[in-house]
Structure 1
């Protein structure tokens, strides 16, 4: 594969790893928020109304940010009824087909998320709750993570094409 493609693959893979590690630590933040909520609500009888929504936003950030790393590592859910019986070349061909389907889905999702972010910015969208947080940060994170998933999908396509050509990209 040409050097620019190798550079692209290594850069996107490193970025997916970095964002994935940050996402991994968000679980600890979410547990801390929920623990704070439990203690303040049940022990000292001072409920903090922002805790549950903050935990929900943290969980949403966790699964958005973990998508590219999950794709890179191949840890996503796959129906292995026939896939395991295929040769390595057959697996790469099937992966190219599913990557095309994934790319279509991600592009449609990206268009919708950009539209949702524009709406949130135009209307200064907030959640209707006692805490009333802005929706703009989580929607911006969603758009960025979907772009990273698209970039990682392209990286995976390059890896499958290279494997079909007898090369290795990592």
Structure 2
């Protein structure tokens, strides 16, 4: 289990680094959008390339940030019933949802999107819009984003199993903390928590 927790800590740190870059992409997207709006209004000039780069960057923020959002436990949840259950019951619900819904979806989308990226790359596909951009980088975002989401899903699964086995704290309590601190908390509390198991 310790090796799995080390893997989980590595994935959390990777997701945190990707999250930092996604924050920067949000700023870049806003600046490009503002620049595009200004030149369109002031100079009566419009560029399909500028519009498409906005779409690409928005897709990158959404897809590449999904794993980071999962790590922070900030995805939308419907906790009308689950929120009233114990922390252990919530951990079991998360495990069930991850194993039977999230991971199969990630595998399916990666499997379906990879050939589309490869075909687009080999054909050097370009947007059908005049002055449009090459398409394959946008298609590549889909399998990469879902692969990172799948890695983080495995990390969350490991943390919940460790919690249920008494080898770490409740991962939901760790979600808002820095990944290094959360990983240290999971690894460092393992002996003490294991003694508390009844």
TM range (shorter): over 0.9
Q: Return the alpha-carbon distance in structure 2 between the equivalents of residues 161 and 86 of structure 1.
A: 17
In 2: Cα distance, 1:46 partner to 1:152 partner: 43
Matches within 5 A, 1:12-161: 12-100=11-99, 101-161=101-161
Matched residue of 1:75: which SS? coil
Aligned to 2:164: 164
| Uncovered stretches (5+) of structure 2, i.e. residues with no partner | 170-182, 184-198
Contact 2:47 2:131 in 1 (8 A): no
- Contact 1:83-1:91 at 8 Å conserved across structures: yes
In the alignment, the residues of structure 1 paired with residue 106 and residue 132 of structure 2 have an alpha-carbon distance, to the nearest angstrom, of 29
SS of residue paired to 1:41: helix
Q: CA deviation at 1:140?
A: 1.9
Report the secondary structure of 1:50's partner residue: helix
Which residue matches 1:5? 4
Per-residue deviation, residues 14-36 of structure 1 (Å, max 9, x unmatched): 01011011111111111111111
Report the CA distance shift for 1:42/1:133 in structure 2 as closer, same or farther (over 3 A): same
Give per-residue Cα distances to partners, 1:102-144, cap 9 Å, x unaligned.
0011110111111211221232222110123111112223222
In 2, Cα distance between equivalents of 1:144 and 1:152:
12
How many residues were matched structurally? Answer: 169
Measured in 1, the distance between the counterparts of 2:46 and 2:121 equals 30
Runs of 4+ in 1 over 4 A off after TM superposition: none
Question: Hey, what's the Cα distance between the residues in 2 that align with 1:52 and 1:98?
Answer: 37
| Counterpart for residue 176 of structure 2 | none
- Structure 1: stretches of 5+ with no match in the other structure: none
2:48 aligns to what SS in structure 1?
coil
Q: Give me the TM-score of the superposition, normalised by structure 1.
A: 0.94
CA distance in 2, matches of 1:135, 1:54: 10
